[in-house]
């Protein structure tokens, strides 16, 4: 199941075996990073260029892709501000992708419109990785989530996972839920009615798992039953009016007191950035895994890039290059 030359627009296009491959190679990359930090050598220089093309703000995703390519020994070009590019002159996304694709070996794109990553991929022969398009997909965040769960809990199946917060607009949960269903997990959607998971996402989960997710607005009530709690921020930028946002702002705040009711071996994830939905006092709880989760984005994206560029074909095959 070679991934060389593949786009990653949605994980719906990838089999469970292919996802497992990415996670296995990510484990190799994580170990290589530990070894290299201890010994201080550099990775073998790589004559490959990655271009990050971001039409929306980003910190973790953009920087972790940059770090991943640099750790692999490659180079990075950035289009961080569309206003400083030909986009400001009216150039289409398709033309931008076609031109940038002629300059690099892989394109990483984030865009506010759903379907934009596929449109870019259709315009170029260069592999395209979706770093978030509209409210629908964020596949590399999902891979990072899975990587963190597997490292912490030792498995990806038979878990009860609670998705909490902005389930209407949050592309991280829209991307994660169907993959969790593919692996045979029980999903509980925790949100007020106005931020409920879209029916299309619920239908997709039911089709994959045979079971429709439970829906509730009671975080405290379901917390003791969860193996994984996936918190999300209320996305102010997605609301049409400030008043609509203010009505749901702070609807859920996870506190140290609430964590006393949670299972001893559960874990808390968050794609970050957080606003006020997880109190800072929770950071000291050993079940808080969101900073570990963010750090895991580098080896996961290293693995994905290496597989797409054909540098690695299976776990353990990159050792001759230093990773």
Same domain, 145 and 115: no
Q: What pLDDT score does 60 carry? A: 86
Same domain, 148 and 284: yes
Q: Give the HSE-up count for residue 51: Cα atoms under 13 Å, Cβ half-sphere.
A: 19
Q: Is residue 323 part of a domain?
A: no
The domain total for the chain is 2
Does the N-terminal peptide bond of residue 273 adopt cis geometry, omega within 30 degrees of 0?
Answer: yes
Same domain, 250 and 204: yes
CATH of the domain at 149: 3.40.50.1370
Q: What pLDDT score does 223 carry? A: 98
Same domain, 161 and 269: yes
17 exposed, middle or buried (CB, 10 Å; 0-12, 13-18, 19+)?
exposed
Q: Is residue 223 part of a domain?
A: yes
pTM of the model: 0.92
Q: Is residue 90 part of a domain?
A: yes
Same domain, 97 and 152: no
Q: Is residue 1 part of a domain?
A: no
Q: Is residue 187 part of a domain?
A: yes
Tokens of 296: 């895991």
The distance of Cα 267 from the centroid of its chain, to the nearest Å, equals: 17
Q: Is residue 255 part of a domain?
A: yes
Q: What pLDDT score does 318 carry? A: 63
Same domain, 157 and 288: yes
Q: Over the range 187-221, which residues count as b (16 or more CB within 10 Å of their CB) and which as e?
A: bbbbbbeebbbeeebbebbeebbeeebeeebebee
Same domain, 256 and 200: yes
Tokens of 28: 């190799």
Are the C-beta atoms of 233 and 167 separated by less than 8 Å?
no
Q: Is residue 5 part of a domain?
A: no
Same domain, 154 and 271: yes
Per-residue pLDDT tens digits of the chain, which is 323 residues long: 689 999 999 999 999 999 999 999 999 999 989 887 655 545 567 899 999 999 887 888 999 999 999 999 999 999 866 665 555 556 789 999 999 999 999 999 999 899 999 999 999 999 999 999 988 899 999 999 999 999 999 999 999 999 999 999 899 999 999 999 999 999 999 999 989 999 999 999 999 999 999 999 999 999 999 999 999 988 666 656 666 666 767 689 999 999 999 999 999 999 999 989 999 999 999 999 999 999 999 999 999 999 999 999 888 766 545 55
Contacts of 53 (CB under 8 A, 6+ apart): 79, 96, 97, 100, 107, 108, 109, 110, 120
Tokens of 60: 């973790």
**Domain carrying residue 108:** 11-138+296-314
């Amino acid at each position: 199941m070679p991934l060389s030359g593949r786009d990653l627009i949605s994980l719906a296009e990838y089999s469970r075996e292919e996802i497992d491959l990415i996670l296995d190679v990510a484990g190799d990359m994580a170990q290589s990073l530990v070894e290299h930090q201890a010994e201080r050598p550099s990775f073998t220089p790589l004559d490959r260029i990655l271009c990050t093309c971001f039409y929306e703000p980003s910190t973790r995703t953009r920087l972790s892709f940059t770090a991943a390519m640099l750790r692999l020994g490659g180079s990075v070009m950035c289009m961080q501000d569309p206003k400083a590019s030909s986009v400001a002159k009216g150039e289409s996304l398709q033309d931008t992708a076609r031109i940038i694709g002629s300059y690099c070996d892989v394109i990483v794109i984030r865009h506010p419109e759903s379907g934009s990553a596929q449109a870019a991929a259709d315009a170029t022969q260069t592999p395209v990785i979706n770093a978030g398009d509209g409210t629908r997909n964020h596949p590399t965040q999902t891979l990072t989530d899975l990587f963190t769960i597997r490292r912490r809990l030792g498995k990806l199946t038979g878990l009860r996972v609670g998705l909490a917060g902005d389930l209407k607009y949050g592309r991280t949960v829209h991307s994660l839920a169907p993959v969790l269903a593919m692996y045979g997990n029980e999903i509980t959607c925790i949100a007020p009615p106005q931020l409920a998971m879209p029916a299309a996402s619920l239908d997709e989960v039911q089709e994959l798992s045979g079971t429709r997710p439970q829906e509730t607005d009671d975080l405290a009530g379901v917390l003791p039953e969860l193996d994984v709690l996936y918190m999300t921020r209320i996305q102010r930028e997605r609301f049409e009016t400030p008043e609509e946002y203010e009505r749901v702002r702070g609807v859920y705040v996870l506190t140290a007191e609430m964590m006393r009711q949670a299972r001893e071996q559960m874990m808390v994830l968050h794609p970050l950035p957080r606003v006020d939905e997880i109190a800072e006092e929770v950071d000291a709880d050993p079940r808080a895994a969101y900073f570990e989760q963010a750090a895991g984005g580098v080896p996961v994206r290293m693995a994905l890039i290496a597989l797409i560029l054909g540098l690695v074909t299976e776990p353990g095959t990159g050792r001759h290059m230093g990773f």
